[in-house]
């Protein structure tokens, strides 16, 4: 079983739709959960950062973590064409001497005008 699984898509939605992106993981030691957005030929850009279970909202974006189910989600409300990108989930453990992120494979999202 892969450590982090993410539906690669591609996912295509009309402008204004609510988008739900998800990742599952197997390592119960993961404590920190992130969502990155990556435009073509660019570096990952941090969108949301959460610790442990619960919800976090930032504008049109909501990150949700359910540690009991080992499942995290990113919701995008009122999606815009500029949201078209690849979305990467990433997570890390607390142990060790420095951060080491484990990424999902990314979901490619297209928002159609």
Partner 1 sequence: EPEVTQTPSHQVTQMGQEVILRCVPISNHLYFYWYRQILGQKVEFLVSFYNNEISEKSEIFDDQFSVERPDGSNFTLKIRSTKLEDSAMYFCASSEVLGGSSYNSPLHFGNGTRLTVT
Residues that bind partner 1 (CB under 8 A): 31-32, 34, 36, 41-46, 49, 88, 90, 92, 94, 96-106
Nearest CA among 104, 93, 88 for reference residue 52: 93
Is the Cβ of residue 45 or residue 66 nearer to partner 1 in the bound state? 45
CA atoms within 13 A on the CB side of 97: 0
Least gap, CB of 18 to partner 1 (angstroms): 25
Least gap, CB of 32 to partner 1 (angstroms): 6
Least gap, CB of 44 to partner 1 (angstroms): 5
Is the Cβ of residue 17 or residue 22 nearer to partner 1 in the bound state? 22
Residues 6+ apart with CB under 8 A from 94: 29, 31, 32
- Alpha carbon 86 to its chain's center: 10
Is the Cβ of residue 17 or residue 108 nearer to partner 1 in the bound state? 108
Is the Cβ of residue 69 or residue 94 nearer to partner 1 in the bound state? 94
């Amino acid at each position: 079983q892969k450590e982090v699984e993410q539906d690669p898509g591609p996912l295509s939605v009309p402008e204004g739709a609510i988008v739900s992106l998800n990742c599952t993981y197997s390592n119960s030691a993961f404590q920190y959960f992130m969502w990155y957005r990556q435009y073509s030929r660019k570096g990952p850009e941090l969108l949301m950062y959460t610790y442990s279970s619960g919800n976090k909202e930032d504008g049109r974006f909501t990150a949700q973590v359910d540690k009991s189910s080992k499942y995290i989600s990113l919701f995008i409300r009122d999606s815009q064409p500029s949201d078209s990108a690849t979305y990467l989930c990433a997570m890390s453990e607390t142990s060790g001497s420095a951060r080491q992120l484990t990424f999902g494979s990314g979901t490619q999202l297209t928002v159609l005008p």
